[in-house]
Homo-oligomer: A and B are copies of this chain.
């Protein structure tokens, strides 16, 4: 059983840590908001008051943070992991951040003998709670084997995608497809509704064949109900789409669909849907349809 320093107790981290504890690991948690970390005391976590305190002497450090700059600060900052590496000399970054920045941090850590694995996840808060996350891993294969039992406590599907950054790249490809498939569902529902077709029947028909997708299966019902519940939020999706666009630009790869969808998510946010789940993308369309129906 491992001793883990876990940095970042947000909507994901607070579901993941209890599973690590259930798996028999010892976990020391740190968050810049002390109350976020404190909430895990009752689950058996130790509360650390700094990154160094959480990570010092641990077998492995895990970061689960909102964006590239936060990971950079926790890794490269004066009080960070580069200066105070874990005894086990492995860092698993489970955040979704820039693959380029990942590679730079990985190279810096390698110089002090620390292996950094990028291990972003899919499955959302629900997958985190149920320990059914998909985990896409980039970095050294031996380091992955060393920490595989730790990852196994949080997810059911751990895939080694390649060298440092490959996990992040895979995650960004995933999000790109998610965004585009969502837009496809929105447009089909918008057109079907404007044309007077029953949306439930439409979804059933489309699920039966070549238009089928995870999004059609799982989010179309929420869209049809105009559900605005949280889930994976528009604002978080925007962060991932931005990272995808930045990677594509740096590589010189045109991604017109990703660019279009990024703008449609921006539009949804401007319509006040940023805190709502991705299914809210359809609410913007729906309001447009309503207005149109009213006019004609």
Q: How far is the CA of A210 from the CA of B170 in the complex (A)?
A: 13
| B residues in contact with A185, CB < 8 Å | 177
A124's nearest neighbour on chain B, judged by CB, is B210
B residues near A65, Cβ cutoff 8 Å: none
A198 beta carbon closer than 8 Å to chain B = yes
- Tell me if B291 and A270 are in contact (CB < 8 A): yes
* CB-based nearest B residue for A184: B180
Tell which of B99, B134, B197 touches A195, judged by Cβ atoms closer than 8 Å: B99
Within 8 A of B (CB), among A156-193: 157, 159, 161-163, 165-166, 169-170, 172-178, 180-181, 183-185, 187-188, 190-192
Contact of A214 among B210, B266, B267, B272 (CB under 8 A): B210
Complex CA–CA separation, A269 to B205 (angstroms): 29
Residues of B within 8 A of A176 (CB): 184, 187-188, 191
A142 within 8 A of B: no
Cβ B180 vs Cβ A187 within 8 A: yes
Contact B184 A169 (CB under 8 A): no
